[in-house]
Structure 1
Amino acid sequence: MNSELTHKLEVGTASKKSRVAISNFVIRKDSVQELSSIAFDTSNKLHVMAFWCLELVCEKKLKLFTPYIDLFCETLRKLTNDSSIRPATKICYFLTKSNHRKNGISLTQEQEHQIIEALIDRLIQEEKVAAKVYAMKALYVLGKKYDWINDELKLILTQDYPNHSIAYQSCSKKILKKLSQ
């Protein structure tokens, strides 16, 4: 694939400026399908960079991502690279927040269940703190619809609290406080 987007991903860097430029290009050129295809192909050497940019696209224009949510949900369980897990988990957070809003994106029950399963796995597995924080935030939102999530979330956060960093503890403390109200 020698497209303009592929070239931009190849020469892009991890810097915020570079990722923003690529995500703006994707939005302008309506290239979300191509970016998603690259991101979801875990064997593609540009997969991580594509996920970084996809996260920014979703942050700005989540509705553009709607046609690719099924593939995204299928890909969640296949992700093993920490550098793609964090943006994927953040995209889950964007989706769950939007799904909870009146005029937001509507996730199917199957999509919600795939996201829930992946997020719980992220919380209980050895993951970087950022992925765990977005997982707990997204699960908290989903817990407003599925009561059982709140019980699971309380249990996991309470058990894991002393074993994690200050950032993890801070976020889990806030969520535990919300769950207790």
Structure 2
Amino acid sequence: MTSDQLYQELNYVNHSREKRLYYANLLIDNPEWIPKVLEILFKVDDKISPRAAWVLEFMCKENLEKMIPFLDTFTQNMHQVHQDSAVRPVAKICEYLVKAYYAKTENKIKKELLPKHREKIIEVCFDYMINDEKIAPKAYAMYTLFLLGNDYDWIHPELVLILERDYQMQSSGYKARAKQIIKKIKTKKS
């Protein structure tokens, strides 16, 4: 499938779980298409960019290890994504990667998610926290940063500072997640 054909195919992706899963499974079965989907995702002003993000997110949910060969490309470019409907899946992919990295069970992500990747994820997650993003990317980012705080001592104090500062101005969903994260950080300290 050419990039143009794949681009046209992504026109058929919508919010339905069935469509996203269908195209995610196509990616899993045809990993050579992943670079093309990433290319479309990083055409950040294009209306199809979020659709590429949705498919990529579902692929990662189903088979995260398919993302390993593309960690450099993904982490080096994810900060460019700015459309709300594309930012959410990018934040979710970051959460998937970091959850796998800290999982109790062995997996390939533990070996392949290098410090340079984790640092880019930290950077983009803090951007989500301090910028005017919707609740979902902020929620994924705060949990991702909480986990990364296990290896980066400076993250938890910074995260608590942001969560407490923004607490009053945010939605009830944000407040609930922030309260959980702050409690986990404070429990960990004692």
Report the TM-score, using the length of structure 2 for normalisation.
0.89
Which segments of 5 or more consecutive residues in structure 1 lack a partner in the other structure? none
Report the TM-score, using the length of structure 1 for normalisation.
0.93
Q: Which of 125, 128, 145 is the aligned partner of 1:122?
A: 128
Q: CA RMSD in A?
A: 1.4
Provide the residue aligned with 2:150 in structure 1.
144
- Establish whether residue 173 from structure 1 lines up as the match of residue 179 from structure 2: yes
Q: How many residues align?
A: 180
Deviation at 1:14? 2.1
Provide the residue aligned with 1:161 in structure 2.
167
AA at the equivalent of 1:66: I
Query: Which stretch of the first structure deviates more once superposed, 7-16 or 161-170?
Result: 7-16
Provide the residue aligned with 1:37 in structure 2.
39
Once the two structures are superposed, the pairs formed by residues 88-99 of structure 1 within 5 Å of their partners are 88-99=90-101
Cα distance in 2 for residues equivalent to 1:142 and 1:104: 18
Cα distance in 1 for residues equivalent to 2:11 and 2:66: 23
Which segments of 5 or more consecutive residues in structure 2 lack a partner in the other structure? none
Percent identity of paired positions between Structure 1 and Structure 2: 34
AA at the equivalent of 1:16: R
Query: Which stretch of the first structure deviates more once superposed, 121-130 or 29-38?
Result: 29-38
Summarize deviations over 1:31-53 as a string: whole Å, max 9, x none: 32222222123244421100011
Once the two structures are superposed, the pairs formed by residues 79-90 of structure 1 within 5 Å of their partners are 79-90=81-92
Cα distance in 2 for residues equivalent to 1:10 and 1:116: 32
AA at the equivalent of 1:21: Y
Cα distance in 1 for residues equivalent to 2:151 and 2:75: 19
Provide the residue aligned with 2:107 in structure 1.
103
After TM superposition, which residue ranges in structure 1, 4 or more long, deviate above 4 angstroms?
none
Deviation at 1:140? 0.5
Deviation at 1:20? 1.3
Once the two structures are superposed, the pairs formed by residues 9-20 of structure 1 within 5 Å of their partners are 9-20=10-21
